[in-house]
């Protein structure tokens, strides 16, 4: 029996997080990260992440997330913890930097240099981050998949 063709996953276009208040969410995320709005719609805001985006949507009804989370890649993680402490944000126990936003979304912050996820050079240039590089471990992991630059 022949197996039906399947699509290949290429990446993530966007992640949608539910919040109670779009304006408060923009202030919160804007106090931690440099943000640029990609656009707005009623009850929604779209934060640009180069060729991807974070969609914030009003209407969160579920309890805070525990295991389900959004892994956000940053150029550097070190300035984030002092800001989270100042904001009184709940830091979650982990090997990295995990926190709950005021609406219960579990955010895991990882540095670009330490993971396999890779942006194309022209995207990094457009984001004014062309100096980002990969750690030896991340390069090894990429080489193991024939994906190293």
Structural domains of the chain, ranges and CATH numbers in brackets: 14-144 (3.10.180.10)
pLDDT tens column, 13-50: 999 999 999 999 999 999 999 999 999 999 999 999 99
Beta bridge partners of 73: 110
Where are the alpha helices (H) located in the chain, listed in sequence order? 22-32, 80-87, 121-126, 136-144
| pLDDT value at 2 more than 90 | no
Alpha-carbon separation of residue 137 from 95, 115, 133 (angstroms): 17, 8, 12
Q: How many CB atoms lie within 10 A of CB 140?
A: 12
| Closest C-alpha to 66, from 93, 38, 97, 102 | 93
pLDDT tens column, 43-88: 999 999 999 999 999 999 999 998 899 999 999 999 999 999 999 9
Task: Kindly report the pTM of this predicted structure.
Answer: 0.91
SS3 20: coil
């Amino acid at each position: 029996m022949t197996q039906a063709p399947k699509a290949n996953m290429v990446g993530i276009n966007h992640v949608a997080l539910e919040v109670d208040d779009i304006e408060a969410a923009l202030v919160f995320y804007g106090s931690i990260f440099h943000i640029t709005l990609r656009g707005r719609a009623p009850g929604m805001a779209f934060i640009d992440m180069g060729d991807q985006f974070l969609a914030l949507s009003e209407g969160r009804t579920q309890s805070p997330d525990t295991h389900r989370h959004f892994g956000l890649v940053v150029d550097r993680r070190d300035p984030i913890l002092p800001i989270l402490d100042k904001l009184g944000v709940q830091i979650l126990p982990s090997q990295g930097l995990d926190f709950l936003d005021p609406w219960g979304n579990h955010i895991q912050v990882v540095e670009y240099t330490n993971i396999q996820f890779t942006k194309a050079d022209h995207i990094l240039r457009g984001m004014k981050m062309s100096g980002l590089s990969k750690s030896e471990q991340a390069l090894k992991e990429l080489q193991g998949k024939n994906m190293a630059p």
